[in-house]
Structure 1
């Protein structure tokens, strides 16, 4: 056990375009988390801000410093964390370590992104630079890797295309009841299959959207009534996808998961629900297998059998996941953890609540498996 708990969480609704500035988004989520925890600015001793694309999109520099001023936190330890699409979970990891090391008594972790300031081509360009320089030079993008992985998985395991569509339909169904999700409309498997091709065999509904949003958590010393941070672990993988032994292996996910389970003294069988990084539907299946929830080549069957639905054996992405709740890079990892906290506290209406829910798991992935952060939370 880390000795760290989460007394408060808060987030904005994820949306295609917010009228708030990046600092305003971050401050809104932070204040909601502080209110939820019953803490004020004077209680905070460290601030850890996750933001991935602010520099690339010409937004607020020194976001951590600007946010301390906005929240009235002058005098605290403050930093900004960047780990591409795993930025939120990495900032959370930084906050946990601040408490464990004794450098902070109460930490505020905030993740925020305002992707709407750039047009689609500009944001795509910024995200494309997350890949290896050789891959970037050849025009390869993250959707390209998603399409290559999906086509390989479908062929290798004789998987029907409906399995990927079911991931999308499930996550949209979950998001439809989530008031902070960007997409609150259900889709069918047929809708997903009929949507426009993005990177064959991936279609529009197989891919997460670009958006604005912020999320925040308050971390404190262990108290019995709060959700506990049982364990956290991270790992890197081979940076260039072309250099990997197998295009379906996400080494960073596997290693980070193994470290997190071992440190927490838990196994995949102990997990009641999981938030999986589904930037593309294929990633939900691959990550479930890498993490040991399912054997290689079998997660698709479990998905079609309903095991990962809200009322299934292992509910996956009960808040809609990146696919439907949304993926503002700096806030995503924190939004996964906030969903777990809400579920573990039993805060949600019946149609959203997983039961029983005492142990939750989250994985936040940078790039296409270049770096991963896993977390286990418990009540």
Structure 2
């Protein structure tokens, strides 16, 4: 890829994240203000000191004025971005590059989405009539194809793979039960997960992420200025974003056991950050567990497991809170739901807490000698999606 990287050019000095859930009493503007206010407070930076804003939302606002009106900014530039489920990550990426370019000293990325009172679940989109882009099957149905494909390719019996998917859901709900910001804060037994009603293919209700409202925000400055605002900044090591040419569903060789987009973005991010062995160098990862087989496949796409061995690592607890490489220690999309514009920044917020040693008791991971946190977002469908990978760390260099 042609990326020149952004390693140690910018740093996060403040973050905020609302509780995710059913916020019937709050608007998108209210949630946006809540996360931004927490970010201002954590950094000591006032809204007037922010030079420019990037707002990520898919359908809760259609211009930057959603943010400028809510925060009452003084005619500051606000850019509204959208990129499927990676919308919050896209806001963060653009804010980082704006500061790295020298265009601004201080930038803010905010992601927000209100889904509960919209009546929608999944992607909120309105395609022009008969434009040829309406999918013929649902999102859960498309992602359900991952499970039988993986089972067949690697010789994992169907019932055994269902146990693996159940283990992923159980893990993420276990983590979410220890997170006061999660939408679902209850542990769920493996028996309940396996017995849940089917949604599509072998996907039961607990194999699918929920629907919620929420917002998260980050303040970005030049790396050399970071310690003016906090004694524990997070330095951005890598930002990689790729968009699929969209040929997966038309390609007879595509076998539904990998997201090529994720492989490409992860490879680029590792090159930027200088990571050669992600399983040993990454301390924790937040990944896009929209469905349990998605998380399984991503473990291999991100290089955390060898091809065909990810399911064994799941069963052995490698990705648990106390495992070799904790994955979704905050509970993931399974526990938070997926307010589209907010999820990518919510993932970064967990890195902010964990790498600074500020996660709640019972959920703080042992970082050890590993200094990196990773986030991964994807949006779209298997074989035709966008993928974002970021790597951040508490030390410069």
Which bin holds the TM-score, normalised by the shorter protein?
over 0.9
Seen in structure 2, the aligned counterparts of structure 1 residues 250 and 137 have a Cα distance that, compared at 3 Å, is closer
Cα shift at 1:156: 2.5
Cα shift at 1:73: 2.0
Q: Deviations over 1:206-254 (max 9, x none)?
A: 0001111111111112135311111111112242541242222211100
Specify every segment of 5 or more residues in structure 1 that has no aligned partner in the other structure, as ranges.
Answer: 55-59
Is 1:362 the counterpart of 2:359 in the alignment? no
**Superposed counterparts of 1:230-269, under 5 Å:** 230-244=237-251, 245-267=254-276, 268=278, 269=280
Cα shift at 1:70: 2.4
Seen in structure 2, the aligned counterparts of structure 1 residues 240 and 210 have a Cα distance that, compared at 3 Å, is farther
2:309 to 298, 301, 326: 298
SS of the aligned residue for 1:278 comes to coil
Seen in structure 2, the aligned counterparts of structure 1 residues 125 and 2 have a Cα distance that, compared at 3 Å, is closer
1:28 to 18, 27, 34: 34
2:134 aligned partner: 136
Is 1:227 the counterpart of 2:220 in the alignment? no
Q: Deviations over 1:163-203 (max 9, x none)?
A: 00000000000000101000000012211100010011110
Would you say the 8 A contact 1:273–1:360 is kept in 2? yes
2:51 aligned partner: 45
Cα shift at 1:299: 1.0
How many angstroms apart in 2 are the aligned matches of 1:125 and 1:277? 14
Specify every segment of 5 or more residues in structure 2 that has no aligned partner in the other structure, as ranges.
Answer: 1-6
How many angstroms apart in 1 are the aligned matches of 2:357 and 2:27? 32
SS of the aligned residue for 2:374 comes to strand
1:378 aligned partner: 393
**Which piece of structure 1 moves more, 341-350 or 165-174?**
341-350
**Superposed counterparts of 1:1-379, under 5 Å:** 1-54=7-60, 60-62=61-63, 64-119=64-119, 122-123=120-121, 126=124, 136-138=134-136, 140-157=137-154, 158-159=156-157, 160=160, 161-222=162-223, 223=226, 225=231, 226-244=233-251, 245-267=254-276, 268=278, 269-356=280-367, 358-369=371-382, 370-379=385-394
How many angstroms apart in 2 are the aligned matches of 1:75 and 1:250? 41
TM-score when scaled to structure 1? 0.93
How many angstroms apart in 2 are the aligned matches of 1:365 and 1:148? 17
How many angstroms apart in 2 are the aligned matches of 1:349 and 1:74? 36
How many angstroms apart in 1 are the aligned matches of 2:183 and 2:153? 34
Would you say the 8 A contact 1:44–1:73 is kept in 2? no
How many angstroms apart in 1 are the aligned matches of 2:376 and 2:66? 29
